[in-house]
């Protein structure tokens, strides 16, 4: 491993350095480094099995990496070494929220209740963990009111306010995805990690999702997403990082990555020496269609 350089600037939100993750004999992530800037939507892409979810699981504390360092710098300048924290502290203190590939809502609770459960920690703290606190004496009732305001705010943003009292399980698939994102936002994250948010969405739902994600970024929460839907990635990302076989093969703007021969080769599954031929073929095809 090369010596660590301290290149954190005030706009660096997340810095992943020399990350490696081994499962038995399989090196799923191999010396992977990248940075995500505050205020950006950063996309992590790559073919199936490239290691994207493993990177997410290391950032959010579900896995402890075999090697490497993951630093999160909050707006206040406070830094957290995520690889050293248990997952609940990554959520609560470092303020990293996530959603999963499979929807994980409380389907029997209403849409609003799902958002209030997300704020449970804050409410319990305000109660002082006492029965008098819970009965509304002290800070609890003010916090409970605030929790409903926060929930309302994100329901409006996610275009779900009309469904607030319906069971979450009754919502269409795309609306459930937005509810998961709204629920994560109720925890007030600095970084929101989304694992394939557009999976299974129809084109209209996909557009609504794009608008929600841009809105979240514009309000000051940075996003890191894994996504297979390239139209979503190219449309909303500020920065794209590409993984193949656990290693970084490209890193830059959507336009840079889209035209990178290594990325084209990885997605088409061709050998490096065949890339130039593939690009020439693609250019010929494009020429033929003008």
Q: Which stretch binds ligand ATP (CB under 6 A): 21-29, 34-42, 146-154, 181-189?
A: 21-29
Nearer to ligand ATP, 207 or 234 (CB): 234
Nearer to ligand ATP, 146 or 247 (CB): 247
Closest Cα to residue 115, out of 159, 180, 170? 180
Beta bridge partners of 27: 22
CB of 55 to ligand ATP, least distance (A): 7
Q: What is the DSSP string of 102-160?
A: S----TTSBHHHHHHHTTHHHHHHHHTTSHHHHTT-SSHHHHHHHHHHHHHHHHHHTT-
Which of 11, 23, 132, 220 is in the footprint of ligand ATP by CB under 6 A? 23
- Tokens, residue 113: 């209740």
Number of amino acids touching ligand ATP (CB under 6 A):
11
CB of 50 to ligand ATP, least distance (A): 4
Per the CB < 8 A criterion, the answer to whether 243 and 51 are in contact is yes
Nearer to ligand ATP, 12 or 66 (CB): 66
- Tokens, residue 252: 């830059």
CB of 36 to ligand ATP, least distance (A): 17
Ranges within 24-53 binding ligand ATP (CB under 6 A): 26, 28, 46, 48-53
Q: How far apart are CA 78 and CA 74, in angstroms?
A: 5
Per the CB < 8 A criterion, the answer to whether 17 and 33 are in contact is yes
Which of 14, 38, 43, 54 is in the footprint of ligand ATP by CB under 6 A? 54
CB of 211 to ligand ATP, least distance (A): 25
Beta bridge partners of 67: 20
CB of 52 to ligand ATP, least distance (A): 4
CB of 102 to ligand ATP, least distance (A): 11
Per the CB < 8 A criterion, the answer to whether 73 and 190 are in contact is no
Which residues lie near ligand ATP (CB under 6 A)?
Answer: 23, 26, 28, 46, 48-54
């Amino acid at each position: 491993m090369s010596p660590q350089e301290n290149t954190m600037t005030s706009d660096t939100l997340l810095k992943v350095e020399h990350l490696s993750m081994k499962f038995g004999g399989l090196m799923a992530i191999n010396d992977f480094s990248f940075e995500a800037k505050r205020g950006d939507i950063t996309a992590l892409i790559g073919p199936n099995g490239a290691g994207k979810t493993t990177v997410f699981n290391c950032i959010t504390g579900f896995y402890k990496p075999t090697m490497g360092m993951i630093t999160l710098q909050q707006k206040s300048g406070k830094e957290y070494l995520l690889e050293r924290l248990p997952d609940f502290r990554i959520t609560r203190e470092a303020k990293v929220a996530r959603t999963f590939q499979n929807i994980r809502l409380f389907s029997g609770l209403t849409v609003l209740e799902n958002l209030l459960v997300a704020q449970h920690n804050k409410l319990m703290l305000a109660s002082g963990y006492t029965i008098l606190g819970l009965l509304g004496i002290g800070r609890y009732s003010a916090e409970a009111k605030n929790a409903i305001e926060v929930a309302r705010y994100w329901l409006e943003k996610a275009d779900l306010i009309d469904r607030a009292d319906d069971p979450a399980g009754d919502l269409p698939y795309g609306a459930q995805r937005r509810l998961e994102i709204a629920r994560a936002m109720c925890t007030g994250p600095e970084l929101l990690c989304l694992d394939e948010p557009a999976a299974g969405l129809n084109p209209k739902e996909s557009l609504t999702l794009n608008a929600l994600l841009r809105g979240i970024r514009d309000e000051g929460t940075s996003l890191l997403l894994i996504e297979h839907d390239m139209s979503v990635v190219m449309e909303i990302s500020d920065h794209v990082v590409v993984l193949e076989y656990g290693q970084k093969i490209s890193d830059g703007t959507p336009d840079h990555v889209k035209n990178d021969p290594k990325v084209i080769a990885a997605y088409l599954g061709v050998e490096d020496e065949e890339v130039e031929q593939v690009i020439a073929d693609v250019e010929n095809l494009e020429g033929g269609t003008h």
